[in-house]
Structures are given as structure tokens and as C-alpha cells.
Chains A and B, each alone.
Chain A
Amino acid sequence: MTLVLEVEYLSGVAYAATVESRDVADWPPQPDRVFSALVASWAHRGEVEGEARALEWLEQLDPPVLLASEASTRTPVTAFVPPNDPRSDKKTAAVEVMPEKRRRQARRFPASIPHTPMVRFIWKDSEVAQSLLPALQDIARDVAYVGHSASLTRCRFVDVAAGELDLEVGSAPRFRTTRGRLAELRRTFARGERPTARTPVLPSARQTGATASSSMFSDNWLLLEHAGGAMPDLRAAAIVSRTIRDTLMSGYKAKELGDRIPEVISGHAPDGKPSGNPHVCILPLPFTGFPYADGHVMGFGVVPPKGSSLLSDETFIGVVRSLASRTDSGSAEIVVQIGQNSALGKPFSVRLAPRIQAGPTRSLDPQLYVSPSTEFATVTPIVLDRFLKAKGAAREQEIYDIIAQACRNIGLPSPERVIADKHSAWEGAPSAYTSGNAPAWQQWRLPEFLRSRQLTHAYIRFAEPVRGPVILGAGRFVGLGLCRPMHRGGSPNA
């Protein structure tokens, strides 16, 4: 059987704006937007527990196929609406309390006019339990609108036999829900905040139709989610990365395995010299690339080389367990002590909760960084392997050469195009360097071995899709030069 959600726009107009721009009409409605409407209906119905179970079942399904017609958009015009702010006890503008005197504020109401006002979301081969379908039907029946409140809708779940609908004419959605979305919406609502950013549907290698080249790094990470303590700014994350590595090494020493710290962690050969083999990268995982992103560090990822068995190594697992202490709530946290010599001022500590699987927090999902793409943009700036000497147009060529070499150094082909810039393409990511009389604390803090190196952000395009993580340059092992794939059908902020 196939689960289908019908959404009929009763007036034939869909008022909704895209994430990227509040002025641009959004069509067709995406599964996550409709899910939010279902959650709103559930809330108005009294937050019935059985209905919550049905939504939790729905949220974790694979993205549905969309059956939606084309739509035209209404001319994006600016309307002027009277606000309710004026106060007659204020000396200035008090008269604006009166309707005819009220200053108008500019507003836009982006609208799509679909050729057919019915959209269907189809979860093929989804076996919905008989106990859940009535709950979903009750919730859908009470959905008043999808998008703006002027988009009144009729919604209905139906369970249809396979083959009743032609899925060939459907399309893949751009956004989806993931496990935990209902809980996330409840949390943000309780705090009086807007929902967190949407989850894009990332293209699989099958969808891109290509076998992507991949970097030398694994796509299987140990995640360290920030659990407590003041987390430094992203610009100091390289120092924290290095300290995390030192902490892991201290775990081996505490277990009297100091002479058997794996080369893949220490980065040094048994004779103490720098290792010529790949070793772990410890990456900051910041909140970037989403609307209202501010670049704060939400955790770290310990990224082994591809093919490494580190994360399944019993000794390593034992070290991590020994470093993690249980909190009152039962969760495990590793305390990372950043000492006085770290160049970050007074000693302090941060607590990090280790886990293997990504949870609902998208910024901590390795998929943000490993999915195949032809285009990448830096989240943290690349530390150039050598100083730039050329000027003008020759300098652009020199930058391309350095970054192209950095790509080859991690097993990727030379890129087709590189655009270097002071700024990142991702919202919330700090610039590569400050200008003018900006205070010193706004500069990137680098470990001693990287001091005085030049930094740059970059946009990188490959001729064929490559699979991440893409981490480039001399600072890659401490998380500098971390690149994130850009997926068309959205901006960097999708």
C-alpha cells in the first residue's frame, strides 16, 4: 500500500515564501512545511499522545514523491499595512494611533497560482500501521492552512493500492523531515522561537548519476556535541581541535598506553617524526549556512582517514569511554581542558558528549559535508601552504595552483574553477581575515605551527561530483579549510 497526503488549496492560491528570500514565492509546498502544518493541527487538537506517535512515525520516513502541477507567480508587489505599535502616551508619533494617520509598513505576500490546486505527497511502499492511519487522518482533517494563513487548505491522508498513482510524473522534494522534528518544533515553540532551519534533501550518488571521486577522509565520524562550558568562537576552534587531540592522547597515557598511541591520532611516527600517513582531522561543526546562522560551534567531528578502523578499535573505544564521565542525567561527557598556554587566555573547559550516530541537529550531521557535489565552499578558511608572491591576475592563478594542489593532496582531482575571497559563501561563517582597525580578537587563532600563514575562503567547482569531506590546506587536521557541498535548487543557505 502507498500512503498519500492530499493538500488542496481551496482558493487556488498558495501564499508561502522560500527560506532564502521572504519575497520569493515557494512552490510546490515541501514535506517539511506540510509537516509543520500537521504539527500545528495536532497542537490545536490538544496534543493527543497517540497522534504524536503517528507524527513521529511520519517524520522519519524517507522523503515522499511530490505530485504537483506547475505554478505561476503573482507579480511580487509591496503592500503597505498599518501596524499596531503606535501609543498615544508617546509624544512623538502619538497621533498615528488613529487609523487614517497610521504609518504603513511595507510587506510582501508572495503568491503562487498552481495550474491544479491539488498537491499529493506519496510515500511509496510505506506500511502504515492500522493504529496510526486514523490518527493521521484526524490530524490532516483539521489542517486549516499550509504556509501563510491566507492559504486555506483541505488535507487528507489516504492509503491507496500500489499502482493507482503514476509516480513517474512525480518529483523529489527539496526539503524533508528527519527523526526528531516533532520534538524540535515543540521545543522551539515552547521557547517562543521560530523553528530551526529546514533539512535539504541531499542528492545520492544514484541521483547525480555519477560515481563520485572521494577524498582520503572517512565519512564515518566520531561526533562530540557541545554539552556545557563556554565554547570559544569558531575563529579559535583550531586551538580546541588540537586540545581535543591532546585529550585523546592523554586518555591513552592514563591507561598506560602512552607508548602505543596510534599514529593515526598522534600524527607522529614511532620515532617521533611527523607521520607521512594520513591521520585524524578534528573539525569544528558550526551553525552556518542556514538562515540566521551565527557561526557558533555546536560540536566537533573526529574524522579518521578513509579505510581506518579507528572508530571500531576496542582500545580507542575504551579510551573514549574512560575519558567520558557520567552526568547526573546519565549522559556521558568528555571534559576538554584548555590550558593557560593555549593562547586563548585563562584556562577553561568545555564538555563534549561523544556519539557515533547523527541526531536531529543538522549542523552536527556529517551528511552536510560528505554528500557528493561538484561545488563546494569553505566554512573555515584554507591555510595556504605557501605565501603568495604574485600580484594581480597572476595572484589568482597562484591561489588556484595552491588550492588545486591541496585537492590533489587529499585524493581529489584538480578543480575546474576556484574563486578565492575574504568572505565565506556560507551565512554565519566568519571572514578569513579582518580589515582596518579591527581588534585582534577577531582574527583567527592558529596553533603555533600555522602562525603567520595566509588564510582565504574559497568557492571550488569540480568537473565531476566529488564526495566529501573536503578539508584542504595546511590546517586541515585542526579543521581549517573545511568545505561544504553546495546543492543547486537552493542557495548555500539551503
Chain B
Amino acid sequence: MQFEKLATMVNDDAAIRRRQRLQPVGGQGDKIFPPTYPAEGRSNIPRHAYERRFIGNAEVSCVLVDSVQSQANRLEEALRDAIADGIEIPHLVVDFTSSGLAGVSKLTTLDTPHRVYDAIMRDSSLKGEPFMQSEIGRELAIARPANAAALLEYSPSALVFGAWHSTSEGGGLGAKFARCLTSEVIAVNVPVDHSTDRNGTPLTTTAAQRTGSRMDPLGIIRKVEVFKGEDGWSTTQKGAGKKAKQVRPSEINHGNIAPSVMPLGITCEYAEQMFVLSFAALRRLKFGSEQQTRAGRAYLAALGLLALAEQDVRGYALRSRCDLVCDGRAPLEIVHADGSTNTMNFDRKTARALYMSALEGARKAGFKLPGEPLVLEPQPKLVEIVRRSQELALAGAGSEEDDNGDSA
């Protein structure tokens, strides 16, 4: 498929959709661990997100394996890897390398939670000028769906995945762009158990189990007196510093952890990724003249398909013990306005060729779409707080670990 055909599809059709089967890297039936979410009520056991779907003529239990928000992050990571592979995709980079910070080099608009409108961009500078006060920053701030050229030229992924300038003046009434694509992974036909809580509310839990324990090779027992305070831990209260109090060895990561068994982890018949690229959503965006708008929309569509193809090749290593791979190669479905569909074969080679064709078409229409990223420098106050944070972390103040739940 070439750029012109894609542009016509964006203009005339409803969407592109793909249902791709996935299987665990360990083979069908291997246990995987979807995201867990906080327990409700008095239970302290985290849980998966269950649902029931009608597939064929039967209702089957399913589990959410990767949410829309999480998949968006992974598709952005796939685009970032494509950039590293030499594919030109406009984006911004905040370069921390000369700041002397350990472990922080560059952050791109494909990494930051709020994309081009993230606070990190706001607290960075372009050639010495605060970014949002620069000419490009102001263009991004005033961009709207009816005139989205600035985003197209500097951060087109924000238009594909959605972005909101929530910290603009006017308290959140700033530029707002709804997503143009969604992708979600669910596990299908998952063995579950049904029960009720003490209030009679139905509960669904996985039939699988997750075990956990720790055997301390040093054999430190629970009764040993340990104190933890502002100066770390010690075997004496004075030695631990101010506000020291007695704790168990496990709270300083020593000692045994008793074995536990929790209803977590699943097996499934298969997992399915449902990807939808909405042409109606793309048609909400305008980029100047009719020709430019047509080219811009087609370019964004190609970018969305590129992200999909790149993720396929990367694989679906979603989290610890949740690695999936494509099971065969599903075609794309072109969904027409009347609901009828046609299929089209699709792989990374096709996607990259289509993307390059669309990039060329958009540049011919007059868009800059620079091949090199726009490089920003972090403002000194941003560098300073990162440095202070690292110092605190090394001193044992610690960071907030949140390994529960799915993040956007």
C-alpha cells in the first residue's frame, strides 16, 4: 500500500483493526502474570481484572493482560526503538548527559508520561529560553485539533496516542487531543474460581496460584533485636539515630519470609491483542490546506501502523513473567463506513515502507518533519532536584516502589 491509497482510506473509511493472537514464550498453557490491582474491601490480596466475553457461542472468562494506557506506552517504546534503528520520527529530547547525573541521559517525548506537554518539557530550555516560552513551545501551546500542524511537525506521536496540555493557563483548558488508536491485550478462556465475599458479592479469582517465600542463607531469626532510624539500622537504638524504633529483621531485608500462596497468575487458551486505528479520529485533525490536511492524516496513520509492526517484532515482554509472542501473523482489517471489511497483509517491512512513503508525502506537502530530534536542555532547577533525589536515595531515604497496578 502506498501513501496515496492510505490517504484515500483515511478519508473514506472508518478504521483499521487487527486481532492478533499471542501465546506465552513458554508455549501455550504456560502461566503468565497479568497486572494486579489493589484489593477491595477488607481483602489484602491484589487481583487481576476479569471479564466475560462471548466468543463463538460460549461465554468465557478473560483477564486483562495489558490495558489501553499501558499498550500506548509500549507502542511508544517500539517507535523509540525504531528511531534507534534509523527511522526518522520527529520528537523532542531532553538531554541530561552534561548534567553529571548518574543513570539519567536522555528523555524523549516518547518516554515522558504526558508526552510533549509533560512537566519535564516545560522545565527544560531550548537554546537557553524556557521551552514553553520559545516560538515552538508557544506554537505547541496554542495548537488545537483544527490547527495541529505544530504537533505534527515536532511530536506526531502525541497526535496518535493523545495529549493534553493540562498545566496551561486556564487550568486545564489547554490543547487537548484525543487518541486516534487503541490497543489492548486480553487473555481468553482463563480457568477461574467463583466465590462470594462476606457480603454475598460474587468474586472471581484465577484458578492458578502464585507462591512466594525467602530462605535466608544467614539464618537470621525473627526474634533478633534490630532498630531502624534516621541513620539507617543498627543493633542498638542509639546507633540507629533519631526516631529509631525496633523493627523485625525482614524490614531491613534480612531473615526468612514465610511461604505464601495467593490466587495470582493465569493460564489461558490464548491471548489476543485488539488494535484499532480510527480514521474518524484522524479526520478531526486539520493541518492547514486541504492537501496538507490529507497528507498529515495519512502520515499519522502510517505512524500508528509502524508502531504496531515494530511492537510485533520487539515482542510483547509486558512485565516480569508475562512474555508473549505473536502466534501467526494476523492481517489488518480495513473497516469501511458501512461496517464491511477487507483484509490486508501486514509486516514490519510493509509498515516501514508505508511510513517512509507517508513521510515523504507529508514533507512534499510542506511539513518540516525534521529527521533530527529537537534537543532541549534541562533547566538548572530540574537538574538540581534530580541530583538531590539521587543523594537522598543513596542515603537510604528510598523511593516509592509501586509494583501494583497498571500505569498509564
Contacts and interface: CB of A to CB of B under 8 A. Distances in A.
Q: Do A and B bind each other?
A: yes
Interface of A: 6, 8, 10-13, 41, 44, 46, 72-75, 77-82, 84-89, 94-95, 97-104, 107, 109, 111, 113, 115-116, 118, 141-145, 149-150, 152-156, 192
A11 B59 CA distance: 17
A144 B166 contact: no
A94 B170 CA distance: 22
A77 B119 contact: no
Contacts of B374: none
Given A88-B123, A104-B402, A115-B54, A95 B113 contact: no
A44 B297 CA distance: 15
Given A97-B123, A113-B51, A84 B389 contact: no
Contacts of B281: 144-145, 152
Given A72-B51, A156-B337, A97 B120 contact: yes
Contacts of B14: 10, 141, 154
B335 A10 contact: yes
26 contacts: A10-B14, A10-B278, A11-B184, A12-B274, A44-B284, A46-B146, A74-B64, A75-B51, A77-B47, A79-B406, A79-B408, A80-B404, A80-B405, A81-B407, A81-B408, A82-B408, A88-B379, A88-B382, A99-B113, A101-B389, A104-B402, A111-B51, A141-B14, A145-B278, A154-B335, A156-B337
Nearest to A72: B52
B381 A142 contact: no
B315 interface: no
B105 to A, nearest CB: 13
B198 interface: no
Contacts of B52: 72, 113
Given A101-B400, A103-B400, A115-B54, 10 more contacts: A10-B14, A44-B146, A72-B59, A79-B67, A80-B406, A85-B167, A141-B337, A144-B178, A154-B335, A156-B338
Contact of A75 (B204, B381, B399): B204
Contacts of B179: 149-150
Interface residues of B, number: 69
Contact of A95 (B145, B162, B379, B385): B385
A230 to B, nearest CB: 28
A8 B341 CA distance: 13
A152 B16 CA distance: 11
Interface string B381-400: 11001101100000000011
Contact of B276 (A80, A109, A152, A192): A152
A84 B274 contact: no
A168 to B, nearest CB: 22
A332 B117 CA distance: 50
A152 B284 contact: no
B81 interface: no
B363 interface: no
Contact of A149 (B120, B123, B178): B178
B335 A79 contact: no
A118 B146 CA distance: 30
B407 A8 contact: no
Contact of B182 (A74, A81, A152, A156): A152
B68 A150 contact: yes
Contacts of B50: 74-75
B283 A84 contact: no
Interface of B: 14-15, 17, 37-38, 47-54, 59, 64, 67-69, 107, 111-114, 117-120, 123, 145-146, 162, 164, 166-167, 170, 173, 178-182, 184, 204, 274, 276, 278, 280-281, 283-284, 335, 337-339, 379, 381-382, 385-386, 388-389, 399-400, 402, 404-408
A113 B53 contact: yes
Contacts of B379: 88
B83 to A, nearest CB: 18
Contact of B386 (A87, A98, A104): A98
B276 A10 contact: yes
Contacts of A102: 113
A385 B217 CA distance: 81
B339 A79 contact: no
B283 A142 contact: yes
B407 A73 contact: no
Contacts of A74: 49-51, 64
Contact of B274 (A11, A85, A154): A11
A97 B379 CA distance: 12
B186 to A, nearest CB: 9
B381 A89 contact: yes
A276 B404 CA distance: 70
Contact of A87 (B38, B59, B119, B406): B119
A468 B93 CA distance: 65
A104 B118 CA distance: 15
A468 to B, nearest CB: 36
A144 B119 contact: no
B269 to A, nearest CB: 17
A75 B112 contact: no
B399 A10 contact: no
A8 B281 CA distance: 15
Q: Which of A77, A85, A99 has the most CB of B within 10 A?
A: A77
A176 B330 CA distance: 41
B117 A8 contact: no
B339 A97 contact: no
B355 to A, nearest CB: 21
Given A98-B386, A156-B337, A88 B182 contact: no
A11 B54 contact: no
B78 to A, nearest CB: 18
A14 B184 CA distance: 13
B284 A13 contact: no
B41 to A, nearest CB: 12
